[in-house]
Amino acid sequence: MELKIHPIGVAHTPFNDPEGMPIQPRGAKDVTGTIVLDKAYEKGLTDLDGFSHIIVLFHLHRSKGYDLMVTPFLDDQKRGLFSTRAPRRPNPIGLSVVRLLGIKGNTLTIQGVDMLNKTPIIDIKPFVPLFDTNEDTGEELRLGWLEEAQNKASEKRSDKRFIKN
């Protein structure tokens, strides 16, 4: 089976280097940027301006290779890759929920940007809490090793641990 994914646009952010940038949108809550879609997709933005937040799927274009055991930014011990949000992955796809500040033509202005400048955008979807969280299911929500560490995400910044030459 062949899988083909093509960028639909590019993010413009203040982060040109992974080192020192926020590791999650929570740590970038005041950081703004833009997503410029290819003009061919502009019509697809119709009605998106009614949403306060969007899910952005993107290619971690500077990520090379991966390890199945990693020491994540929010911990000091090795964890299984798939129990982390480490950027070096078999399929380097990132996901962020950001605030949508506005749309003009094919350009979206967003806030809470935790992407590198010139990040290729794969897809955009509206964020709908009832669809995208499980808090109302009555199920116990378990956060594994991140239960305690999640609160550090707003202060933590990227370092060189996932940068491979």
Query: Cβ–Cβ contacts within 10 Å for residue 39, how many?
Result: 10
Lowest-confidence segment of 22-31, 37-46, 78-87, 104-113 by average pLDDT: 22-31
- Give tens-digit pLDDT for 130-145: 777 766 555 676 666 6
Residue 27's CB: how many other CB atoms inside 10 A?
20
Residue 60 has which token pair? 């971690």
Exposure string (b/e) for 137-153, b if CB count within 10 Å is 16 or more? eeeeeeeeebeebeebb
pTM of the model: 0.83
Q: How far apart are CA 141 and CA 133, in angstroms?
A: 10
**Cβ–Cβ < 8 Å for 78, 71:** yes
Mean pLDDT for 161-165 is: 54
Query: How does pLDDT run across 110-122, given as a tens digit for each residue?
Result: 999 999 999 999 9
pLDDT digits (tens, 9 = 90+) for 60-115: 998 889 999 988 877 889 989 998 888 889 999 999 999 999 999 999 999 999 99
CATH class, 9-128 region? mainly beta
Return the residue matching tokens 């960028």. 7
